[in-house]
Structure 1
Amino acid sequence: MTRLIVAAGGGGDAVAAAMLDAALYGGEGPAVVLTYAWDRLLIDPVPGPRGPADFTGLRPLTRSVRTVPAGASPIAPAGSTLPRLAAELPQTFALIDPHHGAEGITRQVEELVQHLAPESIDLLDVGGDILAKGDEPALRSPLADALTLAGCCQVNAPVRLLVAGPGLDGELAADDLRDRLGSSVLTLTTADVQPVSSVLEWHPSEATAMFAATARGVRGLCEVRDAGLPVPLTDEGPTVHEVDLDDALDRNALARALLATETLDEAEQRSREICGCSEIDYERDKASWLERRPEQQLDPERALLQLDQFEAEARTRGVSHTTFRRITEALGLGGAQREDLRALLVSSRPEQYAAPLWRIPAYA
C-alpha cells in the first residue's frame, strides 16, 4: 500500500506535498507525488508546463505516467526543479501531462490508482485559488489548479481535497476563502518543516516558502512576485483544511468548463473565455519581454546598495518580509543569478534571514 498526492499547481505544491506526507502520514512507506513540471520563468525560461518529451531520463510507471528520477534532465532551454527534488526527498515524483486536457489527467490518476492501489488520494493546493469562482479580480493563475481539479473530479475513486496556507498565493485573500474552507486537518509546526528544510534553501516557490515560514512562527506582511503583491502572514498561514471536492467543482466555473477537454490548447481557450486570461499567455508575454531586456550581472557591492533602496521603499509600504524571487526581480537580475544573490544576502546580513524568507528591518 502507498499514498498518492496530486500537487494541484505544480512548483511549490510538490514541496508542500512532501511536507504534508510527513506531517499527515509520518513519512512511513512510499508516497507518490503527481505534479506538473511547471516552474516560474526564473527557473524555466520556456512558458507553460513541461511534458514527457521535454525530459531525458524519465522512467515509465504506467502506460501514460512517467516518474522523474534524480538522473532525469530537462531538455534545454527548458528547466525544471523536479530532478533536484527527486534527489533530495524520499517521495517518488511523477509527471502530470496536461497536454491531453482534463481527460488525460483523469486517465493518469486512474492508471496510478490501479497500479498503486493507494491507501489515500489527496489533491493539494497551497493558497486556495483552486477554490476560485473564476471572476475574482486578483486571480492570476487559475488554469493549472482548475485543470487538476477537473481531472481529479472524474476519477472513479475517493479523492480528498486539501487547501494549505489559505491566501498565501497572493491571489485570493484568506478572508475571501474562509467560508469556502472545510474543517481544519492540522496546523503545521517547525518540526513539520524539517523534512523539506534543505529544499527550501533553493526552491523558488513563494507560496510554499510563506507556508513554511508561518509554520516556523514568522508573522507580518510579505511582498511577493514581480508585481510586489502584499500577503499577510498570520496564524492561518500554517493551517491545512479539507474541502468537499464536489463543492469546489460546483464553485469553479473554469474547472467545470475543462471537464471534457482533451488538449492544453483547448483548456487555455476555456480559461481565456471564462477568466479573461491564461497564465501561459502571461508567461509568453513576460518571456518575450525578458528576452529583449539585457540581463544584469551580479555585482555584490551594487546589489547590496540596490537592496538598501528596495528595503527603504518596502518599509513605506508596511512590508516586513519578502521572498528571494521578489528581490531577484526587483534588482533586475535573472534566474542565473538568483542562488548567488541569495548566498550573498544570507552571508552578508544573516540576521535578516527568516528562513526561507528575507526580513525587512523596521529601521535602516
Structure 2
Amino acid sequence: MNAFVFGLGGGGDVASTYIAMKYLYLKNISSIVGAVTWERYVEDPLPGPICKEDMKNAVVINDVITEVNQSSYAIRNGLTVIPQLVRYLKAMNIDKGYSICIKYGPKSIAEGIADLASRLNTNFIIGVDAGGDVLAKGCEETLGSPLIDFLMLASLVELENMGFNVLLATIGAGSDGELEQEYILKRISEIARNEGLIDIKGIDKDMERDLEIILSNVNTEASRIPFEAFKGLYGEIPIRNGTRKVKVSPISSIMFFLDPKKVAYTSPLYNIVKNSSSLEDANRKLNEVGIYTEYNFELDLYAKFGLNARNVDSEKILQIRSEGRRKLGGLKINC
C-alpha cells in the first residue's frame, strides 16, 4: 500500500512531509511526495502559485498536478525559481514528486488530486501543514496566510467525501509566528473533543540525519523549528526577518494527525471558501469579511517593489500588511 503525502501550505511545508512519511513507514505504508507550489516572496516575488505553465523539465498530469523531478524548475517573469519540492527531491535523492497548482476552487483541486491518486493506485492522502494556521477560525488578528491553507483544507474534505482515506497533519504549533502555540493546542483539544484527533507522532532520533539533510536544502523556517525544538531549542525566537516571534518548546516537535472534516466544521473559514470557484474567488470572499491574505500581501508588495520585493526590509513589510488590513475595514466574522 502507498500514500500520497503533500505539503499543504506551500513553500517549505514539504520538509515536514518527511515526518508523516516516517509515520506511515512504521505502519508498512510507502509514500509518494508532493506539495502545493507557492513560494514565499523571498524566493519568488511574482504573486500567486506556480502552475504547469511555469514549470520546465516537468510532465503535466492534469491542470492541477504536474510531475516534477530533480532537474525541474520554474520560470516566473523571467526569473528562475527552484520550488522547495524539487529541493526536497534532491535532498532525499527521490526521482519524482507532484506539484499541486491551486489557482482553482476546492472541487477542481480535489478532482486533480483524485486523478493522480487513481494513477498512483492509492486511496490514502495526507496533507501536511507546518505551523498550524490551518486550524485558525478567522478572528485571529495575527493570522496572515489563510488562503492556501483553507483552499487545501476544503480540498481534503472534498476528497474525503469522494471516499478517500484522508488525514490532515500539522506540526510545529505556532512555528510560523502567526498563531500562538497555546492557541493551536487549544484548537487541537477542541477538535479532539469532536473525535477529530486521530494520532500523534513526534520527531525521533531515527529521523535526525535525514531531517538535517532536508533542512540544509529546503528553505523554511516553520518546518525547521520542529527539528530545532527536538534538538533542544527553547524560548521565544524571531523569524521572518524579525517581523514575527515564535514560542519554541518540545511541543513544537510533535505532529498531530486530524480528521479534515472535523477541523473544517469547527472553523468559519472553511464555510467561506468551500464553494469557491477559483483562487481569486476564495480570496475575494475572505476580503469581504475583512481578512487580508498572503495573496493580497504579495500583490501589494509586488505592486510597490516589483521583482525587488525579495529585498524589502521588515519595516516596509509590516507597513504593507498594516495598510492592507486597514483598507479592508477590520474583521467582519463571528467565531
Superposition TM-score, scaled by structure 1 size: 0.75
Secondary structure of the equivalent of 1:137? Answer: coil
The 8 Å contact of residues 3 and 123 in structure 2, kept in 1 or not, is answered as: yes
Which 5+ residue runs of structure 1 have no aligned equivalent? 297-327, 333-364
Q: Per the alignment, do residues 145 and 114 of structure 1 end up closer, same or farther by CA in structure 2, a change over 3 Å counting?
A: same
Paired AA for residue 2 in structure 2: T
Q: Per the alignment, do residues 213 and 252 of structure 1 end up closer, same or farther by CA in structure 2, a change over 3 Å counting?
A: same
Q: Per the alignment, do residues 90 and 251 of structure 1 end up closer, same or farther by CA in structure 2, a change over 3 Å counting?
A: farther
Greater CA drift, 157-166 or 91-100 = 91-100
C-alpha deviation, 1:214, in angstroms: 0.9
The 8 Å contact of residues 58 and 66 in structure 1, kept in 2 or not, is answered as: yes
The 8 Å contact of residues 45 and 310 in structure 2, kept in 1 or not, is answered as: no
1:142 and 2:130 equivalent?
Answer: no
Q: Per the alignment, do residues 190 and 213 of structure 1 end up closer, same or farther by CA in structure 2, a change over 3 Å counting?
A: farther
How many residues were matched structurally? 301
d(CA) in 2 for partners of 1:65, 1:4 = 12
Secondary structure of the equivalent of 2:125? Answer: strand
Matched residue, 2:125: 121
* CA RMSD, 1 decimal: 2.7
Residue deviations 1:171-213 (CA, integer Å, cap 9, x gap): 1112112232145511213432322322312432110011111
Paired AA for residue 77 in structure 1: L
Matched-pair identity in %: 23
Matched residue, 2:176: 169
Which 5+ residue runs of structure 2 have no aligned equivalent? 317-335
Matched residue, 2:324: none
C-alpha deviation, 1:292, in angstroms: 8.8
d(CA) in 1 for partners of 2:256, 2:217 = 27
The 8 Å contact of residues 36 and 101 in structure 2, kept in 1 or not, is answered as: yes
Of 197, 204, 207, the residue aligned with 1:192 is: 207
The 8 Å contact of residues 147 and 258 in structure 1, kept in 2 or not, is answered as: yes
Secondary structure of the equivalent of 2:9? Answer: coil
Matched residue, 1:241: 256
Matched residue, 1:217: 232
- What is the 5 A alignment of 1:85-164? 85-91=88-94, 92-118=96-122, 120-155=124-159, 156=162, 157-164=164-171
Secondary structure of the equivalent of 2:97? Answer: strand
Secondary structure of the equivalent of 2:119? Answer: helix
Paired AA for residue 79 in structure 2: P
The 8 Å contact of residues 68 and 94 in structure 1, kept in 2 or not, is answered as: yes
C-alpha deviation, 1:294, in angstroms: 10
- What is the 5 A alignment of 1:1-364? 1-25=1-25, 31-61=31-61, 64-75=64-75, 76-77=78-79, 79=81, 80-91=83-94, 92-118=96-122, 120-155=124-159, 156=162, 157-181=164-188, 182=192, 183=197, 185-291=200-306
Greater CA drift, 150-159 or 249-258 = 249-258
Secondary structure of the equivalent of 2:42? Answer: coil
Report the structure, 1 or 2, having the larger strand content.
Answer: 2
C-alpha deviation, 1:329, in angstroms: 5.4
d(CA) in 2 for partners of 1:103, 1:274 = 22
d(CA) in 1 for partners of 2:211, 2:249 = 21
Secondary structure of the equivalent of 1:266? Answer: helix
d(CA) in 1 for partners of 2:283, 2:80 = 20
C-alpha deviation, 1:231, in angstroms: 0.6
C-alpha deviation, 1:295, in angstroms: 8.9
C-alpha deviation, 1:285, in angstroms: 2.1
Paired AA for residue 233 in structure 2: V
Residue deviations 1:140-194 (CA, integer Å, cap 9, x gap): 0000110000011011112112111211121111211223214551121343232
C-alpha deviation, 1:54, in angstroms: 0.8
C-alpha deviation, 1:112, in angstroms: 2.3
Paired AA for residue 249 in structure 2: T
Q: Per the alignment, do residues 60 and 277 of structure 1 end up closer, same or farther by CA in structure 2, a change over 3 Å counting?
A: same
Q: Per the alignment, do residues 104 and 275 of structure 1 end up closer, same or farther by CA in structure 2, a change over 3 Å counting?
A: farther
Paired AA for residue 212 in structure 2: S
d(CA) in 1 for partners of 2:123, 2:254 = 23
Greater CA drift, 74-83 or 101-110 = 74-83
The 8 Å contact of residues 200 and 255 in structure 2, kept in 1 or not, is answered as: yes
Q: Which has the higher Rg, Structure 1 or Structure 2? A: 1
Residue deviations 1:65-106 (CA, integer Å, cap 9, x gap): 211111212113252333332222255421111112212211
d(CA) in 1 for partners of 2:313, 2:204 = 30
Greater relative CO (CA pairs within 8 A, separation 6+): 2
Paired AA for residue 162 in structure 1: A
Superposition TM-score, scaled by structure 2 size: 0.81
